[in-house]
Structures are given as C-alpha cells and as structure tokens.
Structure 1
C-alpha cells in the first residue's frame, strides 16, 4: 500500500478549508518539492502575493521557499516559521507518515509587524525584478498584521490536527499490514502441508533463513528498496515457520535482525547517529508488543525508514547523477571499470564524481565498485558449479589472490572458507 494513498487528502482539505475560513489565512498543501497540490477557494492569495507571483520568477520563488520550509519543518518535526523570498512571514506544518516526509501545509499572507522604511528597503532588495515599487509597497501595506502569539496558536492548532490525522492513518496501515502478514504466514503453512515428503518439509530451513538474511542485508547496503522489502517478507514468514510461532524466540531474532539492518543501513550511507536513535526507539516498541504480527509490522517500518534515510533518498542533492553512476556500476561491475569510465558516462569530471560520492554515500567510487563486486560474489558463491576462480573473474577481479584479500576484508573470511560454510 502506498503511504501517500493512506493520507485522506479530502478530509484534510475539509479541515484546512474550515481553518482558512475561520482565520482568514491562505492555506496550501505542498509536496516535498514545494509544489502545491491543494489550494482552496475559501481564502484566495492576497493582492500582494498575486502581484509578486505574476512576475516572471514569482512562482519559482514561492516554490523554492516552500521547499526549504518543508525540509526544515520535517527536520525539526514542528511548525517552521520563516520569511519567504518575497519578504512575507509564512509557516509550514510538516506532514509525515512513519518518519517519511510527504510535504507540508503552508500558511501565509500576514505580517508580524507594521511595515517601516527598513521593511520596504528590504522588499526592494528581495524583488529586483519588480519595476513598479510604489505598487508593490502599496499592496504590502494592505497586509494584515497579526500578533505573534496568535500566529503561533494557529500553527499549533494545525500541527495537532495533522498529527491526529497521521496517527489515524498509521492505525489503518498497521491493521492492513498485520492482516497481510497473517495471510502470508497462513499461505506458507498451507504450502508446506501440501508437500508430500516429510524430509523435504523440514529441509534445511534455518540455513535457508540465514541465506535469505544475507541477501536482505545486501539489498539494504545497496539501497534496493523493492528487493529489501521482498526479502524481508520472506524472512519474516520463514522465521515464524521455523520457530513455530514461539514469541520469545521471534522477538530475539527480530532484535538481532534489526541490529544487523541498522549496520547495513549505515554502510549504505545512512547517518549513524540517526540510525542508532531509530534502533533504540524500535527496541522500546517491540518490548511493548504482545502479538507476533506487531513485531513484524514494526520491523518492516524500521527497514523502510532506514532505506529512506540512507544514500538513495530522492531529495538528496545531486541524487540524479549519483543514481546514474550507481546504475552504471551495477550493470558493468563485471568489466574492468574505473572512476574515469563512470565519470565519462555521465559527462562530468572524475573529481566532481568523487566529491558527489563522498557527499552522498560517504565512500569513494572505487569503494562502491568493490562493494558491489563482493556482494555479487557472495551470491555467485551459492552456485557449487562455479569455482572460486570463476567467481572472481565473473565479478570483475583480474587477480584471484587480490579477490581473496578483498573478499576477506568485507566478509570476514576467505572465499574458500565461506564457500565451504554453505555446504
């Protein structure tokens, strides 16, 4: 289920329309990029705003202000007050679900003080594209002046209202997710009952679980949300079946998995301090859980937050270039590629690409290439028909001895030792 679809925008719009009528303030819902997707007819933009937005760069200035305000409100998780690029006082109330920012509510078209000559001087500096300063100043002088305490109170009312709406949606989400978990487990049990061979039914379940666990952590490190989520679903079902639903064991294994996932998220580019705080909060939540489905729900929630806070976040600066570089590496890791090859593919300098990787992934391009190769080697090791030498060559290493050295550095054991542990 898409988180955005959970948010009842029609209900939220009704709330904001009533708020707008009661306060006389203009209200808009904007996404993370500052783009409006909810404007209301109850209170239109003031004449000053309409005048500024009619200029060539007016709408772009508004959007940039809204985007910055949304980011700050999400960061601090509270209403954020600021002056827009046209000089007006505005505030943003964050809209987030499961720790993921969806956008904000922008409220504006007032002043907190009576305009003076310094205000008008700054207004001219902020809006150099305006030719008729007299008209701009006349319209600014018509803006309502609202006491800061009243403005703060209005912000607090909206913040509480939005929070309650998000909590309601989280309850809906949890019910949907726990139902899905129950259905998956029931299907898995039915499939196993249909198997004829008792030995095949038992199989080597725990070995399969550990193998799936390695894949799951690998996808977290690489930032592959779809595959990480898919592997997590299978992992949780296998865990339930293997433990026959024993909650104490499930809780222990879930805690272990969460700790390993947190480390994988940090290796994938998430901020260590943030990840540790999220992990502590998760552990507090599962200590209060009474049902197995609750353990699973909170585990999935934690992983999704990890992935949204790690390297491939949509709103990270230069994400497009880094994403293209990552895709190129994933497609060509088996070849003899270097940073120059990746940079040439993107038509940027190697030094610029190196800076981007440092900023976004906290590693060098060569480190990332090596990480991908080792992760792919781990998968190929599961194929007994391939020798260590063949695996080494398949993932782009020219020297088997160098491959063994790098593999041991990342995995902790030599390739041959790892291969023997799988049998």
Structure 2
C-alpha cells in the first residue's frame, strides 16, 4: 500500500476505533498485520500465546476478508474461539490489497456454557478457567442490529478513500445478490425434476416483455431462464455462453421492435457480445446477462433519461401483469399514490404515449400471440386480453397493426 494512502487510512481507522471503542487491525493481502489501533483484547493475546504456531486466527481472518471482497460489503463472522469479528476489504485498481478487521465483540453476554466450549475445544487446562472467564467478560457486548450498522459504517469509512473502487464493489454486491436469487431458482428446478432448457413459449414471453419495456417482468422471466440454462448445462461454461449469446441477439432485436434506437442497440449488442466472450466464470456471466437485459429494455422508453424511472417501471410492470383485468388510469395512479391527472402527464412524458394507448398496445401484443398460437375465437381473445367487446377490440387492433384480427391470423 502506498504511504500516502496508508496514512489517510490509518487516520480514518483511528477515528472509527476511538468512536466505537472497537479495536481494528489493518491486514495485508496475506493476512499479516500492517497496523493496529485500539487495545488488543486480553483474551486474544492469551489465545495467541496459548495456541502459538498452531493459531488458526490468521487464516480465518483472510478467508473472511476474501468473502467480504466477493460480496462487496462488510462480512461478519465467528473467529475460531467463537468471538464475533467483522471485516471489509481494501482494494486498489481492482486488486485485493488487504483488509480491515474489527473486533472481537460479543452479541450477547458470555455464560458458563460458552466458556466451557472454548476450554474443551482447545484443551485449555482448567487452571486457566478463571482467567479465561475474566478476559472474555471484558469484551464489549453489542446487539446484532448495531453490529450490522457498525459493519456498514466501517465499509463506508474504508471506501471513502477509494472512490475509484466503489463501483467495482457495488457490482460485486449485485453479482452476489443475483447469484443468491439464481441458487433459489435452481433449487426450485431440482425440486420439480425439470432439467430441460427453457421453452419456446417462455422465450416469446420474455421478448414480449422487452418490447413492452417491462423491465421487472422481463427480469423475473430471465432469472428463471438463466437458472434453467445453468442447471441443464451441468455447469459447462461453453454451453452457457452459447445460450447467452443467443439471448443477447434475441433481446437486442426485441428492444428495436419495441421502439429503441437501432444504432444504440447495435452498439450495445457489440459491446455485450465482446464482454460475454471474455468472461471466465459463471457468476459474472449470469450477472452480465441481467445487466444486458436492463440496458436493452431501458432503451425501449429511454429510461436512462427518465426522471422517474422506478415509478414508471413499477407502473409498466403492473400494467403488463394486469392488462386483462378491468384496470384504468385511476387504478394505476392509486398504485403509485399519485393524483390521476398528474400521473397521466408524467406517464405520457416518460413513456411517449398516453396511458390508454400503452394499455391498448399491451393488450394487442398479447392478442397477437393468441391469434397465432391458439384456436380461440376472436370474441374469446378480445375478452381474454381485457377488451369488453369484439367490435372495439377489432377497431384498436386495426389502428395499431393496419389489419383486422382475422387478417392477421390468416397471414400468419
């Protein structure tokens, strides 16, 4: 670590330690102590002296630091002696350079059982019982909720000096969260004994969500598709990449069909294809597919330039889920707690079409699928997608597609 950076980090750690009364240790990339602030807990000193060269603490600290780096946030853990620590990584230019270790602390007051377990686990002679009790009972007790916030605060303190690394850690945190979601999806697939890749129907549903600009709905479907790809491929990254490249092409076409600027999407597509081809692990690959989906779908309605992206995405997702019900402007305005008139103006400004036109567009897109893939009558399809009668359905359909529902079905 460079001297100037090290001095700034030391100053920040001193402020944190003296404010919280929690000892801190700055470790290098090998888990060796670079600097410490605050008094070392008497029990830790005793434990190190007792275990000598067999002391397991440094390896546990290093493992926890790497977990913190992987997760992109503070990592709380039990040390070999059963005491609580938390740690944050120190990263420079994307490379792990060390970590800051906080603790030990306790989340509840020690009792005889806890002390007995420590004595037995490490074969500590009973003659040291009184000494171990007194040293452990001197350790600060902090409730779990406060520990979590103290960990977050240490992360903020450490990375206040590392502006260039914040984005990288945020990406890692998102990757870890996405991987957790995928693991749940894969477990569901295992439980249902379904080891096949996603169906053509699922693919069509995803593309329709993208064309409609429904980021939330599209993401839910894509997560399930990625889970199936990962499970059915047996973890073969070449198969996963092949399926991912197919998805990239499909998503880019769907976003252009939805109204996104073709030059922007072609440029994005090229960048994603290059990025995906160079990714080496499955976790990063699955995260980048979701990132790719966000970029393509956001461009359908220029969400990147939106002043209310979260609100509009929530509305679009609601419409896409409830288009076949008796919903109207007032219904959706109430969902986002806005005056209908004000909501109407925001929606048209952000999406580029009025609420009623967008709702009709969604209903007609859904009706196209039914016309192509079912034998249902036009009356039945009209009712199924939310229109009250066939006449109005046919009128809207022709306005948007330049042909009647019957002509559309015959031309299929």
Same fold (TM over 0.5): no
Q: TM-score range by the shorter chain?
A: 0.3 to 0.5
Give the TM-score of the pair, scaled to structure 1: 0.43
Give the TM-score of the pair, scaled to structure 2: 0.44
Larger Rg: 2
